[in-house]
Amino acid sequence: MNNLLYQPDLAAAHLSPAVWRSVNIQLLQKMLSEFSHEMLIVPQLIAQQGNWDVYEVKHTEKPVYYRFSARVLSLDHWDIDAFSISKLDNGRTADLDAVAFIVEFADQLGLEQENIGTYLEEIISVLFTYAYMRDQNRMGVDELIKSDYQVIEHAMSAGHPCFVANSARIGFDAIDYQNYAPEAASPLALVWLAGHRDRTEFTSIAGVSYDHTIRQELGAEHVAALDKMLTDEGLDPQDYFFFPVHPWQWFNKLSHIFAADIASQKLVCLGYSNDLYLPQQSVRTLFNVSSPQRSYVKSALSILNMGFMRGLSPYFMRTTPAINTWVYDLVANDAYLQRRGFTVLREFATVGYTNAYFEEAMQIDTPYKKMLSTLWRESPFTVVHGGQQLMTMAALLHIDVYGKAFLPALISSSGLSTADWLRHYLNSYLSPLLHCYYYHDMRFMPHGENLILVMENHVPVKVIMKDIGEEVAVLSPQVSLPPDVERIRIPVPEELKILSIFTQAFDCFFRFLNQVLVAHADFPEAEFWELVTECILAYQQEFPELQERFDRYDLFAAEIPKTCLNRLQLKNNKKMIDGSNPFKHQQFAGNLKNPLAVYKTTLI
């Protein structure tokens, strides 16, 4: 990517007129669908045409109209024909422009003046990303389904499917984008630092020492070389902890904001890693491609991405290994979860460095306190055998640049019927989530990027959950937790507890999976929800002692409160939620009809 320094036109080489028109249609389709789902806009039916009706979205004050053909699937999912979208402005056909749509409908979307600039930048950044992927990522799904873990990760298009502005990385320049964005990056080296022990805290799970961690990740020879770098400077290696950081963070934040610490040798740069890494969809998590058995590295990255500055709190790092230990032990000692093969990847060691100036000056929660932390997470290759393939669960929603869906190609290659394949998937994915929720009062954040599917002959046999420390939660005050795990307990109103399944699994993933099956596999949506019901009933029949909880948190209720993630981001695109109380600022808009409710009469 250094060519960009000498050929600046390469930074925008993917922005051709044809590609730009195409990605504007793609993003406008998503906007119309998700904003309609969240009732930020209300399309009006103007003509019925069988399964595909014609709708119109009209500006409340301006003579601007958008028309499109759509069918409304389960959970109010607007399946919109992208090629049917048209725009009329003052009675004349106008070009489709996703950014112009946000500007036109800013008031209806609830965008305030102080937020709209950042949101527009995010939307433009998403278009830039879409254009790059359309121009550069040309691998079709028939080849992709046979590819390895990181090739699939690199090719993904779905991301967090609910969010319209889901792939902006505000802070990256054009060179950074091609160096560090998961869809663009080539393998890269990390920057290793030495943090003095009076500013740096290392924490790990039981049985894992600092020395073990560093030798595992670097090798004894490299550790000796780094020790020598310090001794040559007159410093004692025993006074320091070594840890890696993202190169962007070093060059753009740490080298100057931590200048005093560097000058006083509290923080020492040790150079690049020998191993090379690839950024994952979550952008600040990096996978070791030189030595896949070695750990993921997750590093603070002070860019704005989907409603948050992606830092890492040194305070959270202190308790992350303990939380991972608690969750891991619970899973490992649960016979049902073990039978399902449910696995969690432990974040087994962390480093947090505190900047004394910001700690003393600022009493509030702020990104300035989250600039320098790192954690190590187990590699999924430590928990699979040679005949198994890994892929992100986000792949199930992937559509390639030729318009072909990944999921039907995957099912076809398995030799199973769609229904039988989905049974394997639901038993691997949904059943463990139900057990964690009903039996242990615990929920994860089980979206596509956080789940790794373990496949045998293109069939899911188990799932691996990652990102435990930041996203696991216990919902009950009755569950006993060790003191250093207590921060995962979150206050949730009783009537909203079931959203841990309804929102996270149903609305944020199954809604889109169902659309892929209907649109690309001609699989009736009623059959999909029957299979979901079958999976739930099988679980409930296995644990009749939990019937009171099944009744209280009813998955067959007639309606589901509609949680609106875009409303959250539109309201505050720099900090969507308070992690310690995620329901405090939650946005709702009406209710969804539960596609499982029709089966309730058969259960009585």
Q: HSE (CB half, 13 Å, CA atoms) of 144?
A: 29
**CB–CB of 449/160 below 8 Å?**
yes
How many angstroms separate the CA atoms of 494 and 476, rounded? 9
* 45 found inside a domain: yes
Q: Which residue, 327, 347, 377, sits at the end of a domain?
A: 377
- The mean pLDDT of 158-172, rounded to a whole number, is 89
Query: Is the pLDDT reported for residue 341 higher than 60?
Result: yes
Q: Which residue, 353, 377, 401, sits at the end of a domain?
A: 377
Task: Give the 3-state secondary structure of residue 87.
Answer: strand
436: left (phi over 0), alpha (psi -120 to 50) or beta: alpha
- Percent of the chain whose predicted confidence (pLDDT) is above 90: 87
Q: How confident is the model at residue 4 (pLDDT cuts 50, 70, 90)?
A: confident
Together in a domain, 237 and 273? yes
> In this structure, what CATH number is given to the domain that contains residue 531?
1.10.510.40
Query: Is the pLDDT reported for residue 579 higher than 70?
Result: no
* 383 found inside a domain: no
In 354-411, which ranges are E strands? 373-377, 389-392
* 199 found inside a domain: yes
Query: Is the pLDDT reported for residue 569 higher than 80?
Result: yes
Q: What is the pLDDT of residue 157?
A: 73
* 6 found inside a domain: no
Which structural domain, as residue segments, surrounds residue 311? Answer: 187-377
Together in a domain, 144 and 243? no
Beta bridge partners of 71: 79
Together in a domain, 254 and 319? yes
**DSSP conformational letter for 523:** -
Query: Which of 240-249, 300-309, 527-536 has the lowest average pLDDT?
Result: 300-309
Q: Where do the H-state alpha helices sit in 381-510?
A: 406-414, 418-440, 468-471, 499-501
Together in a domain, 306 and 339? yes
For residue 312, give both structure tokens: 């890492």
How many angstroms separate the CA atoms of 119 and 21, rounded? 20
Query: Which of 71-75, 293-297, 425-429, 575-579 has the lowest average pLDDT?
Result: 575-579
Terminal Cα distance for the chain, rounded: 63
Query: Is the pLDDT reported for residue 115 higher than 80?
Result: yes
Query: Which of 53-57, 361-365, 400-404, 569-573 has the lowest average pLDDT?
Result: 569-573
Q: Which residue, 325, 354, 377, sits at the end of a domain?
A: 377
Query: Is the pLDDT reported for residue 163 higher than 80?
Result: yes
For residue 548, give both structure tokens: 């009171």
Number of domains in the chain: 3
What Å distances lie between residue 160 and 79, 163, 281, 447, 507, CA to CA?
Answer: 17, 6, 10, 7, 12
How many angstroms separate the CA atoms of 372 and 353, rounded? 6
pLDDT digits (tens, 9 = 90+) for 279-298: 999 899 999 999 999 999 99
Together in a domain, 248 and 372? yes
Give the distance from CA 347 to its chain's centroid.
17
Q: How confident is the model at residue 532 (pLDDT cuts 50, 70, 90)?
A: very high
Query: Is the pLDDT reported for residue 133 higher than 80?
Result: yes
Q: How confident is the model at residue 457 (pLDDT cuts 50, 70, 90)?
A: very high
Q: What is the largest CA-CA distance in the chain?
A: 80
- The mean pLDDT of 581-602, rounded to a whole number, is 81
**DSSP conformational letter for 207:** T
For residue 139, give both structure tokens: 């691998």
* Of 335, 284, 289, 23, the residue nearest 149 (C-alpha): 289
* 591 found inside a domain: yes
- The mean pLDDT of 307-317, rounded to a whole number, is 89
Together in a domain, 493 and 571? yes
Query: Is the pLDDT reported for residue 581 higher than 80?
Result: no
How many angstroms separate the CA atoms of 262 and 195, rounded? 9
Q: What is the pLDDT of residue 585?
A: 66
* 273 found inside a domain: yes
**CB–CB of 191/247 below 8 Å?**
yes
Q: How confident is the model at residue 600 (pLDDT cuts 50, 70, 90)?
A: confident
Together in a domain, 364 and 397? no
Q: How confident is the model at residue 312 (pLDDT cuts 50, 70, 90)?
A: very high
Higher per-residue confidence, 94 vs 137: 94
Q: HSE (CB half, 13 Å, CA atoms) of 153?
A: 28
Task: Give the 3-state secondary structure of residue 392.
Answer: strand
Together in a domain, 149 and 234? no
Around Cβ 334, how many Cβ atoms within 10 Å? 17
How many angstroms separate the CA atoms of 53 and 68, rounded? 8
Together in a domain, 227 and 272? yes
- The DSSP bridge pattern shows strands 373-377 and 347-353 to be antiparallel
Q: What is the pLDDT of residue 386?
A: 86
Q: What amino acid is encoded at 226 in this protein?
A: L
Together in a domain, 463 and 404? yes
Q: What amino acid is encoded at 564 in this protein?
A: C
Arithmetic mean of pLDDT over the chain? 94
How many angstroms separate the CA atoms of 528 and 555, rounded? 15
For residue 88, give both structure tokens: 């009329």
Q: What is the pLDDT of residue 9?
A: 93
* 168 found inside a domain: no
Together in a domain, 195 and 142? no
* Of 79, 529, 543, 569, the residue nearest 334 (C-alpha): 543
Together in a domain, 284 and 199? yes
Query: Which of 69-73, 357-361, 402-406, 556-560 has the lowest average pLDDT?
Result: 357-361
Q: How confident is the model at residue 604 (pLDDT cuts 50, 70, 90)?
A: very low
For residue 196, give both structure tokens: 């003095």
How many angstroms separate the CA atoms of 80 and 69, rounded? 6
* 402 found inside a domain: yes
Query: Is the pLDDT reported for residue 580 higher than 70?
Result: no
